[in-house]
Structure 1
Amino acid sequence: MKRTADVALRGLGVPESLRWYRGALWFSDLAHGTVHRWDGTGEPETVLKVPGRAGGLGWLPDGRLLVASMDGGLVYRLEPDGELAEHADLRQVVGGPVNDMLVDPQGRAYVGNFGFDYHAFSRENANAMLYSPPGPPAASIACLAPDGGLLGTTEPLLFPNGTLLSADGGTLVVAETLAMRLTALPRNPDGTLGEPRPWAPLIPPLLWRLLNHPGPAGRLTRRVSALLDRPAVAKRSASPIAPDGIAWDADGETVWVANALRGECVRVAPGGRVLDRVATSQNTLCCLMAGDDGRTLFAATVPTDDPVRAAELNGGRIELVRL
């Protein structure tokens, strides 16, 4: 039986980038450009407002916060005196809004981006139309040194999003949202990333081929998919899964996936086998296994991920379930 998460916080825009740091939940609000800290009681504290909308979060080894500026194309660093300093300028290497970010224990940051203006496209088109040849633009992950210098970029990926580091530090697992798969990239000793390989496909292979087909079969598949792109239809479906934020399970081997297509978090094994599902009240953009003993699944949910509409609705929520 599918378990159901409980709503813990309401009235947010687009909560994202859930992190557990020093006994509290941290998150960004992509609609309002703010960063928040919540200790589990009362209302969350607003830590800062970021120019260009707050995105991915992480911390340097000395405790200074790093936060991505989605529209600014920058990564900022919060200094001890409260000053927001420029940590890295990514405007020459990104093709769309800067997105999620992972900061490793050494202070190296891995920053993804949309690759194009996704929300402008989705306001005018069904998501299925993204796959009309040549398909959506790809984007690279930027690898940053602890001082903010650019170490390098990865091969292009389809909307690199949530990112995890393996326990041994040798592999990065990234959610390719528009490819509907999790992808593994080996990590070199200098922090750069190698050639990607599949970790877990989250769409049936035949459907993926048809969705991208240049001929009549592809056009028909995209039209049918567009007709079925309705919340009432999506919530009754189990496939495909569009991974947004991802989190290691307590076992350290399987991954919880926030499914951007419907209200659920899904636990998957390497290779893509679905092991568990937790229902949420709205589409899920991010998840995190955390809490004092690491056994609580947090989920960030929204009625819409469009930041303009979300800022008007303030329907974003933080939900949780004890596992």
Structure 2
Amino acid sequence: MEYRLETLSDDFVFLEGPRWHDGQLWLSDQWGHAVHALAESGERTKVADFPQRPSGISVLPDGTVVVVSMADRRLLSVTADGVVAEYADLSETVPHDLNDTVADRAGNIYVGTVGYDIVNGADFKPAELFLVRPGGRFEVVADGLEFPNGAVITPDGGTLIVAETFGNRLTAFTRAADGTLSGRRVWAALGERTPDGICLDASGAVWVSSFMTDEFVRVGEGGEVLDVIPVPGRRAVACALGGADGRTFFGLTYAGAHEDIVSGRKLARVEVCRVAVRAGGSP
């Protein structure tokens, strides 16, 4: 099926972490240093400022929204009226930025790390995936990942799938009842595609934002390409399914280079289309 995106909202710096929650799309303007909520109509509300660069957003079973604060390596809860509080502090254990997240039905949060000083051009190093338990205790549940990024959990709770951006693959783990991981395996090899943010649909397929190839790609387990939405000249950064019936696809794109991100130029936008298969419940 051919899908065509239309702009819903623009004038952002660099967007990440889209989550459909409570009738709105919550998203982080990472280099605009704020979290926003966006209605399906495009009406936009700034929820709160996040001076240390917000990234992944998780919604806990009780409705609490938890946002990654990248540079100071903390998780911060935020209410709809903008009250921010510390949820977990990983700064003494994690030397570089935190990244994207996903939460399970028990309130456990998986959060990836960058692994090296990417902002200042350090050499690449593999990174770790942390499990942050309710109350803020945390532990490493996977390591040696090539830039862990977006993640989803299957509806039965039995599998975690994480994007390894610089590994050009989606990697799956079997989840135990306590949230720990085992059985690491390649869920989909993506060739030249570089997966950033991802989301799951009700058929079990994963929508992948391929940053370096300027496209959103829907893939099945094993790597079969089911749909492609090209965004030529714009980086595909992250995606989510939502809307009243779960069939609105939200694609976050960026029309600039790395130096434009840190300059604060507003080159990011949210684009939308309607898709055939609704959201699968994660993230």
Q: For 1:66-81, what aligned pairs fall within 5 Å after superposition? A: 66-78=66-78
Q: CA deviation at 1:97?
A: 1.2
Give the TM-score taking structure 1 as reference length.
Answer: 0.79
**Structure 1 residues 10 and 152: alpha-carbon distance in aligned structure 2, compared to 1, 3 A threshold:** same
What is the Cα deviation at residue 39 of structure 1? Answer: 1.2
Aligned to 1:162: 150
Task: Considering fraction of residues, name the structure with more helix.
Answer: 1
Instruction: Measure the CA separation in 2 of the matches of 1:19 and 1:276.
Output: 21
Distance 1:38 1:52, change over 3 A: same
Q: 1:298 to 1:305 in 2, by over 3 A?
A: farther
Alignment gaps of 5+ in structure 1: 123-129, 131-135, 204-239
Q: Are 1:272 and 2:260 counterparts?
A: no
Aligned residues of 1:65 and 1:77 also touching (Cα < 8 A): yes
Paired residues of 2:110 and 2:129 also in contact (CA < 8 A): yes
Corresponding residue for residue 161 of structure 2: 173
Per-residue CA deviations over 1:281-319 (Å, capped at 9, x if unaligned) read 511110112211111211000023637635532010100
**Which residue in 2 is equivalent to 1:125?**
none
Letter matched to residue 170 of structure 1: G
Of structures 1 and 2, the larger Rg is shown by 1
Whether 1:121 and 2:121 are equivalent positions in the alignment is yes
Aligned to 2:181, the other structure's residue is in SS state coil
Question: CA deviation digits over 1:93-142, x for unaligned, max 9?
Answer: 334211101122211100001111223228xxxxxxx7xxxxx3111111
Q: Is the Cα contact below 8 Å between 2:64 and 2:79 reproduced in 1?
A: yes
Match of 1:33 in 2: 33
Residue number in structure 2 paired with 1:202? 190
1:148 aligns with 2:136: yes
Q: How does 1:43-192 map to 2 (within 5 A)?
A: 43-78=43-78, 82-121=82-121, 136-192=124-180
Q: Is the 8 A contact 1:3 1:279 kept in 2?
A: no
Distance 1:78 1:309 in 2: 25
Matching of residue 316 in structure 1 with residue 268 in structure 2? yes
Q: Report if aligned partners of 1:32, 1:311 keep a CA contact under 8 Å in 2.
A: no
The aligned counterpart of 1:228 is none
Amino acid in structure 2 at the alignment position of 1:113: T
Q: Distance in 2 between matches of 1:289 and 1:303?
A: 22
Amino acid at match of 2:238: C
Give distance in 2, aligned partners of 1:310 and 1:42: 26
- C-alpha separation between the residues in 2 aligned to 1:158 and 1:273? 22
Give, in whole Å, the separation in 2 of the partners of 1:45 and 1:61.
23
Name the CA distance, whole Å, in 1 between partners of 2:179 and 2:252: 29
Aligned to 1:219: none
Structure 2 Cα separation of the partners of residues 195 and 6 of structure 1 = 40
Distance 1:305 1:164 in 2: 28
| Whole-angstrom CA distance in 2 between matches of 1:119 and 1:2 | 36
Change (3 A) 1:117 1:305: farther
Q: Which has the higher strand share?
A: 2
Comparing 40-49 and 298-307, the one that deviates more: 298-307
Distance 1:315-1:81 versus aligned 2 partners, 3 A rule:
closer
Task: Specify which of 223, 239, 250 is matched with residue 298 of structure 1.
Answer: 250
Aligned residues: 274
Task: Indicate conservation of the 8 Å contact 1:29/1:35, yes or no.
Answer: yes
Decide whether the 8 Å contact of 2:48 with 2:82 is kept in 1: no
Deviation sequence 1:241-290 (CA, Å, 0-9, x none): 00001111232x11110010132100111111211101225111101122
Contact kept in structure 1, 2:31 and 2:264, CA below 8 Å: no
CA distance 1:284–1:17, change in 2 (3 Å): same
RMSD: 2.0
Q: Secondary structure at the match of 1:178?
A: helix
Alpha-carbon distance change, 39 to 142 in structure 1, aligned in 2, over 3 angstroms: same
Q: Which amino acid aligns with 2:241?
A: M
> In the superposition, relative to structure 1, how do residues 24 and 311 fare at CA in structure 2: closer, same or farther (>3 Å)?
farther
2:119 partner SS: helix
- Whichever residue aligns with residue 77 of structure 1, its letter is S
194, 197, 206: which is aligned to 1:242? Answer: 194
Q: Which 10-residue stretch deviates more, 83-92 or 172-181?
A: 83-92
Structure 2 letter corresponding to 1:101:
T
Aligned AA for 1:33? Answer: H
The structure-2 alpha-carbon separation of the partners of 1:110 and 1:64, relative to structure 1 and needing over 3 Å to count, comes to same
Counterpart secondary structure, 1:75: strand
TM-aligned CA distance change 1:310 to 1:4, over 3 Å: farther
Q: 1:259 aligns to what?
A: 210
